[in-house]
A and B are shown apart, each in its own frame.
Chain A
Amino acid sequence: MFFSKILNNDTGGRIFLSILLIVTILIPFLNIVVSPESPWHLSTYTVTIIGKYLTYALLAIAVDLVWGYLGILSLGHGAFFALGGYTMGMYLMRQIGDRGVYGNPILPDFMVFLDWSELPWFWYGFDQFWFAMIMIIFVPGLLAFVFGWLAFRSRVTGVYLSIMTQALVYALMLAFFRNELGFGGNNGLTDFKDILGFSLQLDSTRIGLFIASSVALAAGYLASRALTNSRLGRVAVAIRDSESRVRFIGYRVENVQLFIFIFSAIMAGIAGALYVPQVGIINPGEFSPINSIEMVIWVAIGGRYTLYGGVIGALLVNYSKTFLTSAMPEVWLFVLGGMFILVTIFLPKGIVGLMNKYRGANG
Chain B
Amino acid sequence: MINKTNFFSYVLLLTIGFVFSSQSLATNGDFQNTINQLTTKNLKTKFKVVEDIIDTDNPKVEFVLQSLLEGKVYYIKNNKKVVLAIKEKREYLVKELLSDNSLGKFSKHQIKKVGINNRIRQKIKAGLSMLNLKHEDEKVRLQAVKNTYKDINASIFKKIEKLIQVEDNDKVRDAMLVLMNIYRLNDADPYVRIKAINDLNGNLEPIVKNKLMRLKDNDKNLEVRIEAEKVLNNINSEISFFKNLEKVFFGISFGSVLILAAIGLAITFGVMGVINMAHGELIMLGAYTTYVVQLLMPNNIEMSIFAAIPAAFVVSGFVGIIIQTGIIRHLHGRPLETLLATFGVSLVLRQIVRTIFSPLNRSVETPDWMSGAIEINGVLSLTWNRLYIIVFCLIVFAALITILKKTSLGLQVRAVSQDRNMARAMGVRSNWVDAMTFGLGSGIAGIAGVALSQLTNVGPNLGQSYIIDSFMVVVFGGVGNLWGTLIGGFGLGVINKFMEPWVGAVLAKVLILIFIILFIQKRPRGLFPQKGRSAGD
Contacts and interface: CB of A to CB of B under 8 A. Distances in A.
B279 to A, nearest CB: 12
Given A150-B518, A154-B520, A156-B520, A174 B344 contact: no
Given A167-B472, A341-B345, A154 B524 contact: yes
A60 to B, nearest CB: 15
Interface string A336-353: 111111001100100000
A344 B340 contact: yes
A162 B343 CA distance: 12
A333 interface: yes
Interface stretch (A94-102, A247-255, A292-300): A292-300
A355 interface: no
24 contacts: A73-B339, A147-B517, A150-B518, A151-B517, A155-B524, A159-B273, A163-B275, A171-B509, A174-B509, A175-B507, A175-B510, A177-B506, A297-B340, A300-B340, A334-B347, A337-B343, A340-B340, A340-B343, A340-B344, A340-B345, A344-B337, A344-B338, A344-B341, A345-B330
Contacts of B524: 154-156
A308 B518 CA distance: 36
Nearest to A173: B506
Interface string A236-267: 00000000000000000000000000000000
B274 interface: yes
Contacts of B339: 73, 159, 162
Contact of B341 (A156, A171, A177, A345): A345
B77 to A, nearest CB: 64
Contact of A160 (B348, B351, B475, B510): B475
A297 B341 CA distance: 10
B346 interface: yes
Given A151-B517, A154-B521, A337 B348 contact: yes
Given A334-B348, A340-B345, A341-B348, 13 more contacts: A156-B520, A158-B335, A159-B273, A163-B475, A164-B517, A178-B506, A337-B345, A337-B348, A340-B343, A340-B347, A341-B344, A344-B337, A348-B334
A333 B348 contact: yes
Interface in B484-537: 506-507, 509-510, 513, 517-518, 520-521, 524
A163 B347 contact: no
A107 B469 CA distance: 37
A287 interface: no
B243 to A, nearest CB: 25
A234 interface: no
Interface string B302-339: 00000000000000000000000001001100111111
Interface in A133-192: 147, 150-151, 153-156, 158-160, 162-164, 166-168, 170-171, 174-175, 177-178
A167 B468 CA distance: 6
Nearest to A163: B471
Which residue of A174, A339, A344 has the most chain B CB atoms within 10 A of its CB atom?
A344
Q: Which 9 A-B pairs have the closest CB atoms?
A: A340-B344, A337-B347, A337-B348, A333-B351, A337-B344, A341-B344, A344-B341, A73-B336, A344-B337
A314 to B, nearest CB: 16
Interface of B: 269, 273-275, 327, 330-331, 334-341, 343-348, 350-351, 354-355, 468, 471-472, 475, 506-507, 509-510, 513, 517-518, 520-521, 524
A302 to B, nearest CB: 14
A339 B521 CA distance: 36
A155 B520 CA distance: 10
A147 B521 CA distance: 12
A134 to B, nearest CB: 26
A261 to B, nearest CB: 15
Given A167-B513, A170-B468, A345-B331, A162 B336 contact: yes
Chain A binding surface, main DSSP class: helix
B513 A337 contact: no
A337 B351 contact: yes
Contact of A341 (B341, B351, B509): B341
A296 B339 CA distance: 11
A257 B304 CA distance: 53
A2 B499 CA distance: 56
Q: Which interface class (under 10, 10 to 19, 20 to 34, 35 or more) fits A? A: 35 or more
A357 to B, nearest CB: 18
A330 interface: yes
Contacts of A338: 344, 348
B343 A333 contact: no
A297 B343 CA distance: 10
Contacts of B330: 345
Contacts of A289: 468
A262 B345 CA distance: 31
A333 B341 CA distance: 14
A257 B339 CA distance: 21
A177 B509 CA distance: 13
B344 to A, nearest CB: 2
Contact of B351 (A158, A164, A334): A334
A79 to B, nearest CB: 12
A351 to B, nearest CB: 16
Contacts of A339: 344
Which residue of A155, A158, A333 has the most chain B CB atoms within 10 A of its CB atom?
A333
A150 B521 CA distance: 7
A300 B273 CA distance: 21
Contacts of A73: 336, 339-340
B341 to A, nearest CB: 4
A73 B335 CA distance: 10
Given A156-B524, A168-B513, A171-B513, A340 B341 contact: yes
Contacts of A341: 327, 341, 344-345, 348
B469 to A, nearest CB: 9
Given A330-B355, A340-B343, A159 B348 contact: no
A337 B335 CA distance: 18
Interface string A59-74: 0000000010000010
Contacts of A151: 517
B506 A344 contact: no
